[in-house]
Chain A
Amino acid sequence: MPLLEVRDLHVEFHTRDGVAKAVNGVSYSVDAGETLAVLGESGSGKSVTAQAIMGILDIPPGKITGGEILFQGRDLLKLKEDERRKVRGAEMAMIFQDALSSLNPVLSVGDQLGEMFVVHRGMSKKDAKAKAVELMDRVRIPAAKERVGQYPHQFSGGMRQRIMIAMAMALEPALIIADEPTTALDVTVQAQVMDLLAELQQEFHMGLILITHDLGVVADVADKIAVMYAGRIVEHAPVHDIYKAPAHPYTRGLLDSIPRLDQKGEELYAIKGLPPNLMAIPPGCAFNPRCPRAQDICRTDEPPLFRVTEDGARRSACHFWRETLRDA
């Protein structure tokens, strides 16, 4: 049994302008100690899927219209809010993109870290503060003891993200969801923060869902990759297979748009066109208006997630996955 298994998840947003179908049948799973990277352009439903797993969707306007989220065998969507709350933070935790805005500006970092122990473990404030210092040490924030009473704005961007990581790690959850944890950081500290996250994940044998739109970050850390487009998974594969040979034209496009050292000076490739309007997703394959390979069938028949390998570890939602793979 995987640690987390999302099955056929559907999420809609009901807004004044209409219904945005943000997640349309996403399935993925993560084992303990495993890292799943979720890739895709912005707006493809990566964060919404994560929010549905954490139970922090904005409802309304959001609405889960179908699917299951099995965590350690329990369907989280069937839990009462109070039981769900006890899972959040304690058994699964989330790291957000922008640590500055994601931390409370008027509470000290020690308070915000310690709060985890006060609320979930019933610790006294004093013990919780000691725990906070311990956590800050663990994520290698220098002079933790002196800085525990400081406020988020007094830390650098990299240090703030370490505090977010510490907060997520606080109760040693089984699963961590990191939603673009390094996107808001300086390039120089991105690698350090990523390394720290990977290291802690190994140490505690946690499942990690790493959301990013940066394929470059993924190669060293992830075990498998799910590529999302318009609220669906279009390709799913072990990490090395995808880099060697993508089985979906969209993945191909993403790979080609990574800047490479040997390409200096040349213009960077970009997938032409824009992601679809989620209130009017094109019929057939959602990618067809932008796909260099599109045929008539792509405009009428929605491709299922075909098995590329026998065991189903590798899948592609493309009518022409064979050709795509062959030409790679």
Chain B
Amino acid sequence: MGRYVIRRLIQMAPVFIGSTFLIFMMVFALGDPVAALFGDKAPDPATAARIREELYLDQPLWKQYLHYMGQIFQGDFGTAFNGQPVTELMAAAYPVTLRLTMVAIFIELVVGITLGVLSGLKRGHFIDSSVLVLTLVVISIPTFVSGYVLQYLFGVKWDVIRPTVSVDAPLNELILPGIVLALVSLAYVTRLTRTSIAENVRADYLRTAVAKGLPRRRIITRHLLRNSLIPVVTFIGTDIGSLMGGAIVTETIFNIHGVGYQIYQGILRNNAPTVVGFVTILVIVFLIANLLVDLLYAVLDPRIRYA
């Protein structure tokens, strides 16, 4: 197992370098950061040149990248447009997005798996068809539509929640945004669970479990669920990364000052350190989440553990 982890970590290096370099290049293409610093005023050429030299901007791109990465690994992510260190923005934004993601994951787990198991066990029944239609509807509605509609209904029309989330984003205010963020994946988790359950119900080993005279409860929990949920749990694991990155729309709708919000601001203000810094951390989170999922997979499925 230990060797496997080390091998996976080594495999992650090129992915990390490739994706961060790509981001670095794209942000570079955004425009001249020095000009952005001065806003509408044209900078004095001498000052501009000095700043360029300080920021390594007169060097070739790959040197800038190496320099930047070197600084990152020393914990220096540069300065945001408002003069704050990017690390400070991150310390404020990441916990918020993480909290939002956890709410979404929790909803996916509980609601998605429950609906999936029910419809998988009752294939062709009323509940199955209803869930199927419901997931179809949910999948076809884009997040910004469901987000604004739910915000309007709950926050404005019925006035049961605050329509926007306060700066420190407490958990109870994140429930509705969490639902909005979860919706699309939720429909997917439901379908994945349903398919997996329906497949395993017909499996030979389940017939064996029945032939052994096990009580129905035990057959379902110990034999059916244990097998059916392996792909679901691993999907949810990989989803952590995409949810964190994908929270940008939800965060904008509900004015949540999380990762998506900060990256958006960074792009608007042409602030490379913010964008590259946040994305770099996202890449790391994504890679680690994937590694954990692979390990989890091995824990859940002995066929992989002892391959």
Q: Does A255 contact B (CB under 8 A)?
A: no
Nearest Cβ distance between residue A150 and chain B, in whole angstroms? 8
In-complex Cβ contact of B213 among A102, A104, A120, A150 (8 A): A120
Q: Does A65 contact B (CB under 8 A)?
A: no
**Given the complex, which residues of A lie within 8 Å of B213, measured CB to CB?**
85-90, 119-120
B204–A56 touching, CB < 8 Å: no
How many cross-chain pairs have Cβ atoms below 8 Å apart between A and B?
76
A107–B211 touching, CB < 8 Å: no
A154–B306 touching, CB < 8 Å: yes
In-complex Cβ contact of B205 among A88, A104, A119, A150 (8 A): A104
Q: Does B67 contact A (CB under 8 A)?
A: no
**Given the complex, which residues of A lie within 8 Å of B302, measured CB to CB?**
105-106, 108, 151, 153
**Given the complex, which residues of A lie within 8 Å of B223, measured CB to CB?**
104, 107
CB 8 Å contact bits of B61-74 with A (1 = contact, 0 = none): 00000000000000
Nearest Cβ distance between residue B154 and chain A, in whole angstroms? 41
CB 8 Å contact bits of A96-139 with B (1 = contact, 0 = none): 10100111111110000001100110000000000000000000
Q: Does B226 contact A (CB under 8 A)?
A: yes
CB 8 Å contact bits of B294-307 with A (1 = contact, 0 = none): 00000011110010
In-complex Cβ contact of B204 among A85, A98, A115, A154 (8 A): A98
A151–B306 touching, CB < 8 Å: yes
A297 to B213, CA, bound (A): 47
B interface, by DSSP: helix, strand, loop or mixed? helix
A233 to B203, CA, bound (A): 29
A115 to B208, CA, bound (A): 12
**Given the complex, which residues of A lie within 8 Å of B218, measured CB to CB?**
119
A88–B211 touching, CB < 8 Å: yes
B301–A106 touching, CB < 8 Å: yes
Nearest Cβ distance between residue A88 and chain B, in whole angstroms? 4
Could you write out 25 A-B pairs with CB less than 8 Å apart?
A: A56-B207, A56-B211, A86-B213, A87-B213, A88-B210, A89-B212, A89-B213, A93-B211, A94-B211, A96-B204, A101-B203, A104-B208, A105-B227, A106-B230, A106-B303, A107-B222, A107-B223, A107-B226, A115-B212, A119-B218, A151-B306, A153-B303, A154-B306, A167-B208, A167-B212
- List the interface of chain B (C-beta within 8 A of A): 203-205, 207-215, 218, 222-223, 226-227, 230, 300-303, 306
Apart from A54-B211, A56-B210, A96-B211, what 17 extra A-B contacts exist at CB < 8 Å? A56-B207, A56-B211, A89-B214, A93-B212, A96-B207, A101-B204, A102-B204, A102-B205, A105-B301, A106-B227, A106-B302, A107-B222, A119-B218, A151-B302, A151-B303, A153-B302, A153-B303
